[in-house]
Amino acid sequence: MPRLNIKTRITGNFSQAADRYDQSAQLQRTIGEQLCAQLDERQAFDDIDAASVWLDLGCGTGHFAEKFQQTYNAQGLAMDIAFGMLTRTRQRMSNASTVLVLNADAEFIPLKPDSVNLIFSNFVVQWCLELRRAIAECWRILKPGAWCALSLPGEGTLKELQASWSLLDNFDHVNHFYSEEALTQLMRETLPAEATVEITRQAYVNRYKSLIDLLKDLKNIGANTATGKTSPGLMGKTQLTSLQKNYEYYRQADSLLPASYEVLNVLIKKPKMH
């Protein structure tokens, strides 16, 4: 599938999911809170003041943009490629005069070099077709001394679903994610030597009564676009029944089905000018 069509599908799925996103995004919020805690530990927010600019890159419905706006006296940018998500952010932030809502692509950020004091991006950049370009853009707009915090799924994410599909066909129903080693190498090749980069890994597990509940959650958060070699047409009833049978192998003693997430948190700091 042409790359432009893939990005259009990704954007469309997230826009369509905007009204349902918050009810299924508990894990995403947990991951984002952990990313904020890591920034706190490194005193990344200490220099944020009225003259500062923060960017929530891929803001979704505006949960963390609202948190930053309420916590810090600074100019905020809530940016997302999906217009439907930005509509919800505008509704959430209707009284926040210090936050600008921006419809743009993480691979082509329309901001000046050295203009942002903090970039926060929670479970977003894995959807970039060229992750290197997005990382380079973040570096370009960071001010000297500023931090960029990213979280993204690692290679163990949705391993049960991937394994269950692999018994049915050879198409990509679950996206491929970076290992910690591969992501470390990408950062090394993309960023200049003076960049400080720290990558940590955490494991999370969501649990569901049924496979249908898991698939519904993925659709509700807009994460239902396969970007690899995809099968033609929609999933049929027979195929769904076979997939459910395969996934039953993972049912736990508590009678629930696990969905594993391996999360990679990336902290990048741009050195101050001497």
Return the HEC string of 160-208: HHHHHHHCCCCCCCCCCCECHHHHHHHHHHHCCCCCEEEEEEEEEEEEE
Closest C-alpha to 176, from 189, 190, 158: 158
Determine the pLDDT at residue 169: 87
Are 15 and 85 in contact, with CB atoms under 8 Å apart? yes
**What is the residue-level pLDDT of the chain in tens, covering all 274 positions?**
456 688 999 999 999 999 999 999 999 999 999 999 999 999 999 989 999 999 999 999 999 999 999 999 999 999 999 999 999 999 998 888 899 999 999 999 999 999 999 999 999 999 999 999 999 999 999 999 999 999 999 999 999 999 999 999 888 788 889 999 999 999 999 999 999 999 999 999 999 999 999 999 999 998 877 665 555 555 678 999 999 999 999 999 999 999 999 999 999 999 997 6
Query: 219 to each of 16, 213, 215, 231, how far by Cα in Å?
Result: 9, 10, 6, 17
- Ramachandran assignment for 43, one of left (phi > 0), alpha (psi -120 to 50 degrees), beta (any other): left
Instruction: Identify the helix (H) or strand (E) that includes residue 63.
Output: helix 63-71
Decide if domain 3-158+177-206+262-269 falls under CATH 3.40.50.150.
yes
Say if strands 116-122 and 196-208 run parallel, antiparallel, or are unpaired.
unpaired
pLDDT in tens, 28-45: 999 999 999 999 999 999
